[in-house]
Amino acid sequence: MSLAATLVWTIVFLSSLVLGRVIYALHLSPYRHIPGPRVCKITQYWTLWHDIWLRRVEKIHEWHRRYGDVVLIAPGKVSFSDAVSTREIYGTSCGLPKSRYFDNFLAYCNRSVFCTLGVKEHQEALKRTIAFYRPTSVFKSAMLQPVRDNVKKTLNQLARRTENGHATLDILIVCNFFSFDNITRLLYGPDLCTRTIEHESCFERTILGGWMTVELWNNLLYNFPVAHKVTKAIFSYCSDKPDFLAADDKLADWNMRRVDAALRKPADMAVDSLLHVLSTAKTPDGEPLPKSWIAAELLDNIHAAQSTVALALTYVLWNLANCPEWQSRIREELSAMPLEKDGLSAFSFLQFAPILDACITESSRLHPLSSGRAERVVPVTRAYNGIVLPANTVVSTSTLAIHHRPEVFPDPQAYKPERWLHAKGEVLRVMQSCYIPFGYGARLCLGKPFAQAGIKHFIAGILMQFEVCIDPRSGTTSRTMAQLGTQNALPRGRRCELLLKRLPVACTCKQKAS
Report pLDDT digits (tens) over 451-494.
999 999 999 999 999 999 999 999 999 999 999 999 889 999 99
| Helix/strand/coil for 75 | coil
> In the predicted model, what is the mean pLDDT of residues 336-356?
93
Q: What is the mean pLDDT of the chain?
A: 93
**Residue extents of the structural domains in the chain:** 1-29, 31-502
Q: Please, what sign has the CA dihedral across residues 291, 293, 298, 300? A: positive
Residue 175 labeled ligand binder:
no
Which percentage of the chain shows pLDDT scores above 90? 84
What pLDDT score was predicted for residue 508? 44
> In the predicted model, what is the mean pLDDT of residues 345-352?
93
What pLDDT score was predicted for residue 513? 38
pLDDT band at 514 (very low <50, low <70, confident <90, very high): very low
**Are 401 and 81 within 8 A, CB to CB?**
yes
> In the predicted model, what is the mean pLDDT of residues 319-341?
95
pLDDT band at 505 (very low <50, low <70, confident <90, very high): low
Given a cut of 70, is residue 1 above it in pLDDT? no
**Are 495 and 476 within 8 A, CB to CB?**
yes
What pLDDT score was predicted for residue 436? 95
Given a cut of 70, is residue 420 above it in pLDDT? yes
3-state secondary structure string across 152-206: HHHHHHHHHHCCCCEEEEEHHHHHHHHHHHHHHHHHHCCCCCCCCCCCCCCHHHH
| Helix/strand/coil for 339 | strand
The phi and psi torsions of 191 (rounded to 5 degrees) equal -80, -25
> In the predicted model, what is the mean pLDDT of residues 135-159?
96
What pLDDT score was predicted for residue 500? 98
Of the two residues 406 and 11, the one the predictor is more confident about is 406
Lowest mean pLDDT among 8-22, 64-78, 300-314: 8-22
Residue 377 half-sphere exposure toward CB, CA atoms < 13 A: 12
pLDDT band at 136 (very low <50, low <70, confident <90, very high): very high
pLDDT band at 511 (very low <50, low <70, confident <90, very high): very low
What pLDDT score was predicted for residue 24? 87
| Helix/strand/coil for 110 | strand
Report pLDDT digits (tens) over 213-257.
999 999 999 999 999 999 999 988 888 888 899 999 999 999 999
What pLDDT score was predicted for residue 510? 44
For the chain, report the end-to-end CA distance as a whole number of angstroms: 98
pLDDT band at 6 (very low <50, low <70, confident <90, very high): confident
| Helix/strand/coil for 511 | strand
Give the CATH number of domain 31-502.
1.10.630.10
- The rounded distance, in Å, linking the Cα atoms of 325 and 365 is 19
The model's pTM: 0.93
Report pLDDT digits (tens) over 27-51.
999 999 999 999 999 999 999 999 9
